[in-house]
Amino acid sequence: MMTTTTIIGFPRIGEKRELKFATEKYFKNVIDQEELRATAKRLRRHNWELLRQAGISEIPSNDFSYYDQTLDAAFLFNLVPQNVQDLPFSELDKYFALARGYQGREGNVLAWPMKKWFNTNYHYLVPQLNQDTRFKLTGDKIFAEFAEAKELGIITRPVLLGPFTLLKLSEYQNAAASDFVKDAVTAYQAVFTKLITQGAHWIQLDEPALVKDLTAEDRQLFNDLYRPLLAAKGKLKVLLQTYFGDVRDVYDDLVKLPFDGLGLDFVEGKQTQQLVSRGFPADKVLFAGVVNGKNIWRNHYDQSLAQLKAAGAQQIVVNTSCSLLHVPLTVENEDFAPDVKKHFAFAKEKLAELQDLAAIYDGRGAEQLHANQALFAHPRVQEDAALHDRIANLKDADFIRQPARPVREQLQKAAFQLPLLPTTTIGSFPQTKEVRQVRRQFRRHEISQEQYDAFIKGKIDEWLKWQEQVGLDVLVHGEFERNDMVEYFGQRLSGYLFSKNAWVQSYGTRCVKPPIIWGDVKRQQPITIKWSKYAQSQTKKLVKGMLTGPVTILNWSFPREDISLKEATLQLALAIQEEVLDLEANGIKIIQIDEAALREKLPLRKSDWYSEYLDWAIPAFRLVHSKVQPETQIHTHMCYSEFTDIIPAIDAMDADVISFEASRSNLEILDALKKQHFETEVGPGVYDIHSPRIPSVDEVQTTIKRILAKIAAPKVWINPDCGLKTRGVEETKASLTNVLAATRAVRRQL
Ligand code: GLN
Ligand code: ZN
């Protein structure tokens, strides 16, 4: 029997982001629904045929989505709020209304909130369930797409978010997950029945929530759902698909339950190998996720084969570790040199890898194996021995800034003489059309360096003057020269590669193009000095230097696999450290090192938080600023205030000041900061920058007072939630004017 191959899901956005552009045109009424549907259909067909041609034997369907697969499941199962159902719209328009919100003649509908999909940079819509929700099968997307593929002669395996993960990810109002168990079972059973009638052999139920730490209740919920569901599966074979980790807390249950296939992740699942070695049941097919669905490097065949062999399953399907949604489509459209290109496998290239692995596993494919061995026989890049030595020789003292923070605090207060409740912003000012256009012209050599510099200087001057006028205490240069907080730095570091088309869906129609860390990273040239220095030379007030921190740069790039994440982060940390010291040498007295994405890559299991991540991520940040003078003030900024559970780690970054997003979470974090004796000075954002709304003076004053009720005034800074680059000029000025008025009013009362 030949070993077969499959994937968990394929990117749906299209090689040239066709779905994104068509959808956006549809939103703007440039094309009609029929045309959008036709584009979507073409893309689905293209993907299925691509998979078939690649030799993938088991092809999924319903991995396509117009916006998000969790939202698809909500529409399939009638979880849509009544006010959306009542809109006099087509199904698709109701769907988009819930995805993006709708405000218009027919009513006012809030979009469901969005959250990060496990440990990826993809975002899903969070279903909101309440006592009125009736969980039942009403949609037909999954059936329609199965039928569509069948017409092409492909019997696909429909993919559906499993009931456990769906209920775990949902948020509840006057209801709980357990209220929906019975109806969910009935609804999923109805899906099974209908698929059987249509001629399906398998269904794939995605249950990534199983790789998190599970409580006894979670296990109960899982069993309550699957026992009755599997009892009624009839002829349909059920693949339970997990990814992003291992299933250590439920492996025994999975083995006992009558699943026909178990999909396990051998890449991120640290204990997967160990679990299957306890014995993989002979009555089940192992869908072995050995090809990394999240990164862009070629698979190391010898390693994957060793995993496949050690698994000891009688029936194996070679699989990716997670959906290929998280990697770009193909390296074909990139113009890297052949010697570089041969190391990359994006989604399309991974299909060939799956085929190779199956062949080699069956004792064929010697040629492919040899070619792959040759690829890995030599290190991909020549290592920078001096840099590796430097990292190997780092001492504990290199990670510790002297003197201790309380001493620095006094020195800095004496040196800066800032008023109580100092005001500042997070760094960027509005990136208007004009700003983006001039940057584009410069990139395309349509304007000269002199013209470009003059423009940026003009912008800096304009905003410095405005900041002085409005009365801000610590100014910023505005970041007009930056396209993106990571790309701008990557372009000035060695070791980085930038793709042309390697887009990955982030949410809905939004895609990102993460840069690739190819080799050892060093600072090639000063990164931010020119503009920070210029800005400081134009004003007597303090201007904050503005950097992106090493953990954030790493988390928003495709990382190397030939060195550890820790090593890669330390390389970045040393590069940014040079920049910090250079800023200091150039007279910059306050330096903000943004760690916007620090919280993002916190491991899914709490037990791994420190050992797998924080134990090196926090020291890497400390390394960046450990060598500055006591009077140099280090700020950091984080985009989420959801760090209540890692407060000691945030304090251990040893920054002097931290600003963070707080206004939308109702300042909840303040209690935790107080209780846990947070030492770093704090600037909890006093207004939400995600909306154009202008906060009133009263509102901001109330917020400041609420902050002061929890945190002593000498520790408090006043700032917005985040950078202002996405906001308009007028609303930015109006909002900050009110913030300053409110701050002055509160100061008078202190
Ligand atoms: N300094 C950056 C800015 O103001 C921070 C952005 C962020 O936190 N995402 O734009
Ligand atoms: Zn932010």
ipTM of the shown complex: 0.99
Question: Residue whose CA is closest, atom 10 of ligand 1?
Answer: 723
Question: What is the number of the ligand closest to the CA of 662?
Answer: 2
Q: Which residue of 121, 424, 428, 635 sits with most ligand 1 atoms within 8 Å of its CB, as the best mutation to test the pocket?
A: 428
| Cβ–Cβ < 8 Å for 609, 567 | no
Asked if pLDDT for residue 354 goes beyond 90, the answer is: yes
Ligand 2 centre distance from Cα of residue 486 (Å)? 13
**Residue 744, marked binder:** no
Q: Is 107 exposed, middle or buried (0-12, 13-18, 19+ CB in 10 A)?
A: middle
Partners of residue 717 on adjacent β-strands? none
**618 vs 615: CA distance, rounded Å:** 6
Confidence grade of residue 334 (pLDDT, cut at 50, 70, 90): very high
Long-range Cβ contacts of 458-462 (<8 Å, 24+ apart): 459/429, 459/435, 460/531, 460/534, 460/535, 460/538, 461/538
The length of the chain is 750
The token pair at 674 is: 């107080």
The token pair at 105 is: 């003649």
The stretch 666-693 carries a mean pLDDT of 91
Q: What's the pLDDT at 323?
A: 98
Report phi then psi at 300, rounded to 5. -90, 100
Encode pLDDT of 160-188 as tens digits. 999 999 999 999 999 999 999 999 999 99
Encode pLDDT of 711-739 as tens digits. 999 999 999 999 999 899 999 999 999 99
The stretch 396-403 carries a mean pLDDT of 98
Percent of the chain with pLDDT over 70: 100
**273 vs 276: CA distance, rounded Å:** 5
Task: Identify the active-site residue in 46, 388, 445, 690.
Answer: 690
**396 vs 64: CA distance, rounded Å:** 50
**Residue 19, marked binder:** yes
Q: What's the pLDDT at 692?
A: 84
Q: Which atom of ligand 1 is nearest to the CA of 637?
A: 8
Encode pLDDT of 648-667 as tens digits. 999 999 999 999 998 877 78
Q: What's the pLDDT at 640?
A: 76
690 is catalytic: yes
**Residue 116, marked binder:** yes
Confidence grade of residue 447 (pLDDT, cut at 50, 70, 90): very high
Q: What's the pLDDT at 600?
A: 86
**Residue 600, marked binder:** yes
**271 vs 269: CA distance, rounded Å:** 5
Percent of the chain with pLDDT over 90: 94
Report phi then psi at 630, rounded to 5. -55, -35
Question: Residue whose CA is closest, atom 6 of ligand 1?
Answer: 723
Q: In which residue are the tokens 């405005």 written?
A: 466
The stretch 601-608 carries a mean pLDDT of 94
Q: Which residues line ligand 1 (CB under 6 A)?
A: 426-428, 479, 485, 546, 594, 596, 637, 639, 722-723, 725
Question: Residue whose CA is closest, atom 3 of ligand 1?
Answer: 723
**428 vs 546: CA distance, rounded Å:** 9
Q: Which residue of 435, 479, 726 sits with most ligand 1 atoms within 8 Å of its CB, as the best mutation to test the pocket?
A: 479
Question: What is the number of the ligand closest to the CA of 425?
Answer: 1
Question: Residue whose CA is closest, atom 8 of ligand 1?
Answer: 596
Q: Which atom of ligand 1 is nearest to the CA of 548?
A: 1
Question: Residue whose CA is closest, atom 5 of ligand 1?
Answer: 723
Output DSSP code: residue 297.
B
**Residue 207, marked binder:** no
Confidence grade of residue 511 (pLDDT, cut at 50, 70, 90): very high
The token pair at 411 is: 């020195």
Ligand 1 centre distance from Cα of residue 427 (Å)? 6
Q: In which residue are the tokens 């030599």 written?
A: 378
Q: Give the burial string for 266-296 (b: 16+ CB within 10 Å, else e).
A: bbbbbebeebbeeebbeebbbbbbbbbbbbb
Confidence grade of residue 100 (pLDDT, cut at 50, 70, 90): very high
Ligand 2 centre distance from Cα of residue 20 (Å)? 26
**Residue 567, marked binder:** no
CA dihedral 569→575→581→586, nearest 10 degrees, is -140
Q: What's the pLDDT at 636?
A: 98
Q: Which atom of ligand 1 is nearest to the CA of 482?
A: 10
Confidence grade of residue 740 (pLDDT, cut at 50, 70, 90): very high
Q: Identify which of 670, 661, 734 has the alpha carbon closest to the alpha carbon of residue 697.
A: 734
**547 vs 486: CA distance, rounded Å:** 10
**Residue 553, marked binder:** no
Q: Which atom of ligand 1 is nearest to the CA of 428?
A: 4
Handedness of CA 43, 45, 48, 52 (dihedral sign): negative
Ligand 2 centre distance from Cα of residue 705 (Å)? 22
Q: What's the pLDDT at 78?
A: 98
Q: What's the pLDDT at 569?
A: 98
> Who contacts 454 (Cβ-Cβ below 8 Å, separation ≥6)?
none
Q: What's the pLDDT at 663?
A: 82
Q: Which residue of 429, 594, 599, 657 sits with most ligand 1 atoms within 8 Å of its CB, as the best mutation to test the pocket?
A: 594
Ligand 2 centre distance from Cα of residue 156 (Å)? 42
Asked if pLDDT for residue 1 goes beyond 80, the answer is: no
Angle at 292 between CA 302 and CA 619, to 5 degrees: 105
Strands 285-291 and 542-548: unpaired
> Residue 557 CA to chain centroid, in angstroms?
10
The stretch 23-40 carries a mean pLDDT of 97
The token pair at 123 is: 């975002």
663 versus 307: which is more confidently predicted?
307
Q: What's the pLDDT at 642?
A: 79
Q: What's the pLDDT at 270?
A: 96
The stretch 34-61 carries a mean pLDDT of 98
The percent helix, strand, coil of the chain (3-state, each to 5) is: 45, 15, 40
Q: Which residue of 485, 527, 660, 690 sits with most ligand 1 atoms within 8 Å of its CB, as the best mutation to test the pocket?
A: 485
Ligand 2 centre distance from Cα of residue 721 (Å)? 7
